[in-house]
């Protein structure tokens, strides 16, 4: 009995699966009446290819039939002529056109006698590797193409040097000539000196006639004109190069560039259709017991450095490589999303020398593949290809990649990288206005004076930085900023110290607690162009901004009188300037946190918190606040934002009747959920699974999972440090696996995101209570880390019962007992308490008139902290931890024993069940909206 469906024939009597062309794709065996497919490795040995001409036509990149007939002789692993018999839509979309200049009729006599080069870019979008340009290097003798992806034009010289070293080592021949256009990236002193020193002639094409540079320019024109995917153009370029170098060419007597370059016929049995869907086998060490052994991915090319394929995983939004996969060469992401069978997909056209226009049709059965051992491992990094084809633009040409890009992020327009890009863009008038506004601010501030160039004086280069600010329900703002290239500054000559403080979040929460206690109003100020106000001690010079040169003084340079953005010392200079102004108007700088300033007059209180150019004024006197604003506005350009509602991404909500202040970060959390595609995830009630024990992942496998792990941890850390102590342990614990995370670690990160989604309405409440003290809770989890058995410390500290400081941290050494682990936790907590008591003595002295109570649930540790007696069981404890005894003796700290049931810091040391977790965090000041 047999059943045929969509080109596949299932023969039950023989347990075989075949394509419509008779190719054996897989076998299965009877297991209790159920046929089970053989493993990927076994099936891969059955067949590696199909004989369909249409399938091979698409795999090798749509060659013309006059070229296709030579494939079987030019390569190995191709069992069919990749020609077409009907209509091939991608071939029609990519019709050839003849250039206005004839082809170069002669070839160089030997390899490396002549190398063509050209630079293309900037592309509209950054590549996955954040490149914006690609550089072609083509050997004239073999027509072998190499490509390098660049972030900046100034990397061209380095790429040419790298290519020369690589090629000469591979071929044991010397590069003799380089042919390029007259671009500045080629015509510069650095490249000129290098080529002259190595004996390479530099041939320049006639200016403004790039077509005369033969192969290289036509290659770039074809790839760009084909309408490459905006976010994945580099992947398409790399694959195009890979195919072109393995395509027979008439000028080479129908040999491939790869064969002429290496002396070996390339094996193409592993080729697959670019952009097709694949099911990639996941090795057992990389999945959980009940996980599927495969994952869906999109095929996007071939790795240069090893055997295998490159895939894009839409679920994790990352690129990875693997050697074992099932390719569905009739399925594309566009078809899966739209449920259509004839969606035009992005195809890579291969050049023909006779420029014929055959019209092939498409066909591509599924095949399970194992990579042949002859795949070239010595492919140079990235390659491009020669072509004379100019496809007509069509909406669906890059539909696959548009869909992939839509999964990862919204396709927003890129900001210009240079003034030329800005002034040639559709928004040129807006960018020009922004540049003029920035230049006006620099002039009004007296940032520089013009002077004649001085001998031996280093002139720093400058650049424009453009940024589009899109606010919700607000008009788009176009910002331009002139910055110095501080990377060229010399230490000891152009700058000394660069450190500049920012306020600690613990300090900010302490101030908010005081504001709730004493009904202090919180006003917000923003300093415009803050870094331009700093005074410079060093003698620095910069270029005049291009387009803003003073008439008749074009050759002069700018001597800086004030700091500007980009300098190493810009932030320090601004902080020093602000400190000088604040002290002159009567404020005193805190010795505990240098970003806090105080001014008191009787019962009048003014407290200033500074975070770079954001200033918060905490005050109980409106007249004093107004006076401070006026004084600052006389010195700087200030923007008065009134009573604070949002600062540093933190929402502030005030309830004057209840004397409470709430802070939360719902916008940041929502953006984080969207960023990692978790906004529709199922909610959970705790951030950690109480039964899950994680260990370091050390398995080295060919299929390496790539997750945005560190990116997610970084985003979660910011939330933890501001307003969410309930996820502190989960985030700190998972950050220990940043180096080599596995799928189980990534799932744990996603669980935190699911928890945040279900608790996004939680706010941290600061209330006004009669109690005005500092209290702390401290706990430790002994040896629960599977990797090294080091314990975890957790503490939370309250001012007036409002949470101001918390931490979940791995201890520095292994503890030999629970008592030792708890004692080390007490010591670490006391370090924070000493700092916090010092801060309180400046800001709220009444809160430290009595010893600070520190609660712990281990009797041995409490006794050890209160008694300086000697014990054989504790003699090995490091002396640094015994300083707590001195604090107890000095009546600064009072250690008290508390029951384990009442230890609210337990949630900061380990995962807990729902009931215990909710009980702990109910004391953290977290309330629902």
Strand-by-strand arrangement of the 541-542 sheet: 448-451, 557-560, 541-542, 459-460
Element of type H or E holding 332: strand 324-332
813 band by pLDDT with thresholds 50, 70 and 90:
confident
Distance between CA atoms of residues 579 and 858, nearest Å: 46
Distances, alpha carbon 651 to alpha carbons 646, 668, 712, 727, in Å: 4, 10, 22, 19
Find the mean pLDDT for residues 188-211: 79
pLDDT at 365: 33
Q: Give the pLDDT of residue 323.
A: 81
- By C-alpha distance, which of 781, 785, 796 is closest to 920? 796
**How many other C-beta atoms can be found within 10 angstroms of the C-beta atom of residue 361?**
15
Q: pLDDT band at 358, cuts 50/70/90?
A: very low
The string of pLDDT tens digits covering residues 580-623 is 999 999 999 999 999 999 999 888 899 999 999 899 999 999 99
- DSSP letters along 290-307, please? TS-SEEEEEEEE--SSSS
For 815, left (φ over 0), alpha (ψ -120 to 50), or beta?
Answer: beta
Residue 82: pLDDT above 60? Answer: yes
- Is 126's pLDDT higher than 90? no
Which of the two residues, 659 and 331, has the higher pLDDT score?
A: 659
What distance in Å separates the CA atoms of residue 613 and residue 850, rounded to the nearest whole number?
A: 37
CA-atom Rg of the chain in angstroms: 34
Q: How confident is the model at residue 424 (pLDDT cuts 50, 70, 90)?
A: confident
Higher pLDDT, 742 or 356: 742
Are the CB atoms for 310 and 303 separated by under 8 Å? Answer: yes
- Judge whether residue 174 has pLDDT over 90: yes
User: Does residue 439 or residue 121 have the better pLDDT?
Assistant: 439
How far apart CA 198 and CA 175 sit, in angstroms, is 9
- What pLDDT does residue 17 have? 63
Q: Rounded to whole angstroms, how far apart are CA atoms 813 and 827?
A: 13
pTM: 0.59
Task: Provide the phi-psi class of 923: left if phi over 0, else alpha when psi is between -120 and 50, else beta.
Answer: alpha
Compute the residue count for the chain.
Answer: 929
Residue 351 pLDDT class (50, 70, 90 cuts): very low
> pLDDT value at position 90?
53
CA-CA distance, 244 to 396, in Å (whole number)? 23
Taking only the tens place, the pLDDT of each residue in 207-220 is: 444 433 433 443 44
- Average pLDDT rounded to a whole number, residues 701-721: 79
Q: How many CB atoms neighbour CB 13 within 10 A?
A: 7
Share of the chain above pLDDT 70, in %: 74
| Whether pLDDT at 438 is above 80 | yes
Is the pLDDT assigned to residue 482 strictly greater than 70? yes
Is the separation of the CB atoms in 904 and 920 below 8 Å?
Answer: yes
Backbone angles phi, psi at 927, to 5 degrees: -130, 155
Per DSSP, helices labelled H in 372-427 are: 399-408, 419-423
DSSP state of 60: T
pLDDT-derived band at 418 (thresholds 50, 70, 90) equals confident
86 has a pLDDT exceeding 80: no
What pLDDT is attached to residue 387?
Answer: 38
Q: Of residues 356 and 641, which shows the higher confidence score?
A: 641
Q: What is the pLDDT confidence band of residue 702, given thresholds at 50, 70 and 90?
A: very low
**Longest CA–CA separation in the chain, Å:** 99
The residue-averaged pLDDT of 108-120 equals 91
pLDDT band at 871 (very low <50, low <70, confident <90, very high): low
Give yes or no on whether 96-262 and 769-898 have one common fold.
Answer: yes
Is residue 441 over pLDDT 80? yes
Query: For the purposes of burial, counting CB atoms within 10 Å of the CB of 217, is it exposed (0-12), middle (13-18) or buried (19 or more)?
Result: buried
Once rounded to an integer, what is the mean pLDDT over residues 806-832?
Answer: 86
Locus of tokens 């000196």: 193
Domain 96-262, CATH homologous superfamily name and number: Ribonuclease H-like superfamily/Ribonuclease H (3.30.420.10)
- Is residue 347 scored above 90 in pLDDT? no
pLDDT-wise least confident of 306-320, 569-583, 689-703: 689-703
Q: Which of 21-25, 369-373, 826-830 is the least confident region?
A: 369-373
Q: Note the pLDDT of residue 704.
A: 47
Q: Cβ contacts of residue 735 below 8 Å, gap of 6+?
A: 713, 717
Q: What are phi and psi of 336, to 5 degrees?
A: -65, -35
Q: What is the pLDDT of residue 230?
A: 60
Q: SS3 string of 452-501? A: CCCCCCCEECEEEEEEEECCCCCCCEEEEEEEECHHHCCECCCECCCCCC
Helix or strand run (H / E) with residue 758 = helix 743-758
C-alpha to C-alpha distance for 299 and 531, rounded to whole angstroms: 48
Tokens 């200049």 — which residue? 101
Class of domain 769-898: alpha beta
pLDDT at 304: 67
Nearest Cα to Cα of residue 610 among 722, 666, 530 = 530
**What is the mean pLDDT of the segment spanning 102-129?**
79
Distances from the Cα of 449 to the Cα of 289, 457, 561, angstroms: 70, 15, 7
Mean pLDDT of the chain: 78
pLDDT tens profile 452-462: 988 888 899 99
In this structure, are residues 152 and 122 in contact, taking their beta carbons and an 8 Å threshold? Answer: no
Residue with tokens 């409440």: 765
State pLDDT tens for residues 27-54: 666 666 666 665 443 433 333 344 477 7
Residue written as token pair 């991608």: 90
Q: Which two tokens stand for residue 666?
A: 């719902």
Q: Per-residue DSSP letters for 341-363?
A: S-----------SS---------
What is the average per-residue pLDDT within 373-394? 36
CA gap 117, 185 in Å, rounded: 11
Domain ranges for the chain: 2-38, 96-262, 769-898
User: Residue 543 pLDDT > 70, yes or no?
Assistant: yes
Residue 824 exposed, middle or buried by CB count within 10 Å (0-12, 13-18, 19+):
buried
Task: Give the integer Cα–Cα distance in Å for 574 and 879.
Answer: 42
pLDDT for 907 equals 92
Supply 545's token pair.
Answer: 């901004």
pLDDT value, residue 734: 92
pLDDT digits (tens, 9 = 90+) for 664-677: 999 999 999 998 98
Q: Which two tokens stand for residue 39?
A: 């493993």
The SS3 assignment for 35 reads strand
**Three-state SS across 649-662?**
CEEEEEECCCCEEE
Q: 106, 54, 55, 109: which is closest to 85 by C-alpha?
A: 54
pLDDT at 253 over 70: yes
pLDDT band at 497 (very low <50, low <70, confident <90, very high): confident
Lowest mean pLDDT among 158-167, 453-462, 629-638: 453-462
- Separation between Cα atoms, residue 512 and residue 925, nearest integer Å: 13
- The per-residue DSSP string of 240-294 comes to HHHHHTTS-BGGGTTB-HHHHHHSSPPB-TT---TTEEEEEEPPGGGS-TTS-SE
Rounded CA separation 241/149 (Å): 13
User: What is the rounded average pLDDT of the residues 263-286?
Assistant: 80
Q: Is the pLDDT of residue 176 over 50?
A: yes
What percentage of the chain carries pLDDT values higher than 90? 35
How is residue 431 written in tokens?
């960018």
Which of 296-305, 543-552, 628-637, 792-801 is least confident?
A: 296-305
């Amino acid at each position: 009995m047999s059943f045929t469906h969509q080109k596949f024939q299932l023969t039950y009597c023989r347990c075989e699966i075949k394509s419509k062309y008779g190719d054996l794709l897989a076998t299965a065996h009877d297991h209790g009446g159920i046929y089970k497919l053989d493993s990927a490795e076994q099936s891969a040995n059955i067949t590696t290819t199909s004989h369909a001409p249409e399938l091979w036509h698409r795999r090798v990149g749509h060659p013309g039939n006059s070229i296709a007939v030579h494939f079987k002789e030019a390569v190995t692993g191709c069992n069919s002529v990749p020609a077409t018999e009907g209509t091939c839509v991608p071939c029609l979309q990519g019709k050839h056109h003849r250039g206005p200049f004839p082809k170069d009729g002669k070839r160089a006599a030997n390899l490396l006698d002549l190398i063509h080069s050209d630079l293309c870019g900037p592309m509209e979008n950054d590549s996955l590797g954040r490149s914006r340009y690609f550089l072609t290097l083509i050997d004239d003798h073999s027509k072998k193409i190499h490509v390098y992806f660049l972030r900046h034009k100034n990397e061209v010289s380095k790429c040419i040097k790298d290519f020369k070293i690589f090629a000469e080592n591979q071929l044991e021949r010397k590069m003799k000539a380089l042919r390029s256009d007259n671009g500045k990236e080629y015509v510069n002193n650095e490249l000129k000196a290098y080529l002259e020193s190595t004996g390479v002639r530099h041939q320049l094409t006639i200016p403004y006639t790039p077509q005369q540079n033969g192969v290289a320019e036509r290659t770039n024109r074809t790839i760009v004109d084909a309408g490459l995917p905006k976010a994945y153009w580099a992947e398409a370029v790399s694959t195009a190069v890979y195919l072109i170098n393995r395509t027979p060419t008439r000028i080479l007597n129908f040999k491939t560039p790869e064969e002429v370059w290496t002396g070996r016929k390339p094996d193409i049995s592993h080729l697959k259709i670019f952009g097709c869907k694949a099911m990639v086998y996941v090795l057992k060490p990389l999945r959980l017991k009940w996980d599927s052994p495969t994952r869906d991915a999109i095929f996007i090319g071939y790795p240069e450095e090893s055997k295998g394929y490159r895939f894009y995983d839409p679920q994790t939004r990352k690129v990875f490589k693997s050697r074992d996969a099932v390719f569905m060469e009739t399925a594309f992401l566009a078809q899966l999303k739209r449920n259509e069978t004839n969606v035009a997909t992005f195809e890579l056209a291969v050049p023909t020398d006779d420029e014929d226009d055959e019209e092939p049709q498409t066909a591509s059965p599924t095949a399970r593949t194992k990579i042949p051992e002859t795949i070239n491992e010595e492919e140079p990094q990235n390659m491009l290809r020669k072509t004379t084809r100019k496809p007509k633009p069509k909406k669906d040409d890059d539909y696959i990649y548009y869909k992939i890009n839509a999964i990862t992020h919204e396709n927003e327009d890129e900001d210009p990288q240079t003034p030329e890009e800005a002034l040639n863009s559709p928004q040129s008038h807006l960018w020009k206005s922004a540049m003029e506004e920035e230049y006006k601010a620099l002039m009004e501030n007296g940032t520089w004076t013009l002077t004649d160039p001085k001998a031996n004086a280093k002139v720093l280069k400058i650049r424009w930085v453009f940024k589009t600010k899109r606010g919700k329900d607000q008009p788009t703002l176009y910002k331009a900023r002139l910055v110095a290239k501080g990377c060229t500054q010399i230490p000891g000559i152009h700058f000394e110290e660069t450190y500049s403080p920012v306020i600690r979040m613990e300090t900010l929460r302490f101030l908010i607690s005081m504001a709730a206690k004493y009904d202090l109003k919180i006003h917000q100020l923003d300093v415009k162009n803050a870094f331009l106000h700093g005074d410079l001690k060093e003698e620095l010079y910069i270029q005049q901004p291009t387009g803003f040169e003073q008439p008749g003084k074009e050759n002069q340079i700018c001597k800086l009188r004030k700091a500007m953005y980009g300098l190493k010392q810009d932030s320090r200079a601004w902080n020093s300037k602000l400190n000088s102004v604040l002290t002159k108007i009567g404020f005193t700088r805190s010795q505990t946190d240098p970003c806090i300033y105080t001014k008191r007059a009787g019962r009048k209180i003014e407290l200033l918190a500074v975070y770079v150019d954001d200033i918060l004024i905490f005050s109980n006197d409106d007249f004093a606040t107004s006076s401070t604003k006026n004084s600052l506005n006389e010195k700087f350009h200030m923007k008065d934002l009134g009573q604070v509602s949002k600062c540093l991404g933190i929402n502030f909500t005030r309830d004057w009747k209840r004397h409470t202040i709430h802070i939360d970060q719902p916008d940041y959390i929502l953006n984080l959920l969207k960023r990692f595609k978790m906004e529709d995830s199922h909610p959970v009630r705790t951030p950690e699974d109480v039964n899950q024990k994680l260990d370091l992942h050390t398995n080295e496998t060919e299929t390496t999972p790539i997750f945005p792990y560190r990116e997610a941890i970084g985003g979660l850390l910011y939330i933890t440090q501001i307003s969410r102590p309930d996820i502190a342990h989960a985030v700190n614990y998972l950050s220990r696996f940043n180096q080599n995370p596995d799928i189980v670690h990534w799932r744990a990160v996603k669980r935190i995101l699911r928890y945040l989604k279900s608790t996004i309405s939680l706010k941290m409440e600061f209330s006004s209570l009669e109690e005005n003290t500092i209290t702390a809770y401290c706990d430790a989890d002994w040896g629960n880390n599977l990797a090294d058995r080091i314990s975890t410390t957790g503490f939370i500290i309250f001012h007036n019962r409002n949470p101001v400081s918390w931490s979940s941290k791995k201890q520095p050494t292994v503890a030999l007992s629970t008592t030792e682990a708890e004692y080390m936790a007490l010591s670490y907590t006391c370090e924070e308490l000493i700092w916090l008591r010092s801060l309180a003595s400046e800001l709220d002295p009444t809160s430290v008139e009595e010893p600070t109570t520190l609660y712990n649930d281990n009797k041995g540790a409490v006794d050890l902290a209160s008694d300086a007696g000697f014990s054989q069981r504790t003699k090995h404890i490091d002396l640094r931890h015994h300083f707590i005894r001195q604090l107890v003796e000095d009546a600064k700290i009072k250690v008290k024993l508390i029951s384990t049931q009442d230890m609210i810091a337990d949630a900061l040391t380990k995962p807990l069940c729902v009931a215990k977790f909710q009980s702990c965090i109910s004391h953290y000041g977290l309330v629902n909206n």
